[in-house]
Amino acid sequence: FSLIQRDIKSLQVASVTHCATRLNALPSPRPSPSATMKGGNTNLYANPETGERVTAYSMAHSTPLPKHITDYHAAASASRDDSMMLSSNFQSQLHLLLANVIGAKRVLEIGVYVGYSAMVWAHATGPDGLVTGLEFSPELAQIARDAFAAQGLDNINIIVGDGAETLPKLGVATPYDLVFLDADKTGYSNYLRILLARSRPGAAGRLLRPGALIVADNVLRRGQVADPALTEPEFGSQQQWDAHVEAVRRFNDECVAEARLETFLLPLWDGLSIMRLRD
């Protein structure tokens, strides 16, 4: 009888061990959407096709941009080889909302490109508002000016030159309500230092008002700021791309460590940091 008991026990152990081995060999289950949302993960959809449908649905259920702005985006996208530098229409719908939420009447844009996003800010501020753009390239600045003239927009002013030189000298009669930072990524940290230094609490002629928003684009660099294992450059050499990624990573660290900034990094598009200046 004891031999029978021992054999049964051996069979039970073997069966449990076999089942455990089978279970360990199975692939890990995909987290449920609710679990992913609770964890803050933005990968909520089972496949890219669903993600595209959700984006299209979200755009259709967000306040649309004016036709002259979307038409200009389509024309620039079709005619320029570097059109990947354009913000998307979907992202610009958020830009419009942010400006309207704070009642922005004065917007500073660092990095104008061909003027698409400046058109969005100009629409948000209205004809009695002002958009000031700093653009390094005279050629791009002229393209933007021609586009503004064609649209009858006269509330946008572009200053040509290196932003690191024009920003410290920028004359201000009334502080800006919002800054959009979309220029050379290696200069982000310096632009932030200048903005903060020229907006000290109680200072006369400050650049930004208390509670102003600083919105910085491309702060995830295709995810490489968070995952250094990704090595494929978006443009140029790997060395150039690495310098951009490292500069943006340093900028992100500085933003969240700055006591005067309330910061939220939105992991959509190529990453959008939204910061509120507090005195």
Tokens at residue 8, please? 């049964």
Going along the chain, which residue ranges are E strands?
Answer: 106-110, 130-135, 156-160, 176-181, 208-217, 261-266, 272-277
Short-list 164, 175, 143, CA closest to 279: 175
- How much is the pTM? 0.83
Is 264 a domain residue? yes
How many structural domains is the chain composed of? 1
Is 43 a domain residue? no
Is 39 a domain residue? no
Is 212 a domain residue? yes
* Residue ranges making up the domain that contains 103: 65-277
Is 210 a domain residue? yes
Q: How far apart are alpha carbons 62 and 153 in whole angstroms?
A: 24
pLDDT tens, the chain, 279 aa long: 444 344 434 434 444 444 444 444 444 444 444 444 334 445 567 788 888 888 899 999 999 999 999 999 999 999 999 998 999 999 999 999 999 999 999 999 999 999 999 999 999 999 999 999 999 999 999 999 999 999 999 999 999 999 999 999 999 999 999 999 999 999 999 999 999 999 999 888 999 999 999 999 999 988 888 887 776 656 566 767 678 889 999 999 999 999 999 999 999 888 999 999 998
Sign of the Cα torsion 39, 41, 45, 51 reads positive
Is 60 a domain residue? no
**Vertex 170 angle, CA 85 and 272, to 5°:** 35
Is 3 a domain residue? no
Is 136 a domain residue? yes
CATH of the domain at 259: 3.40.50.150
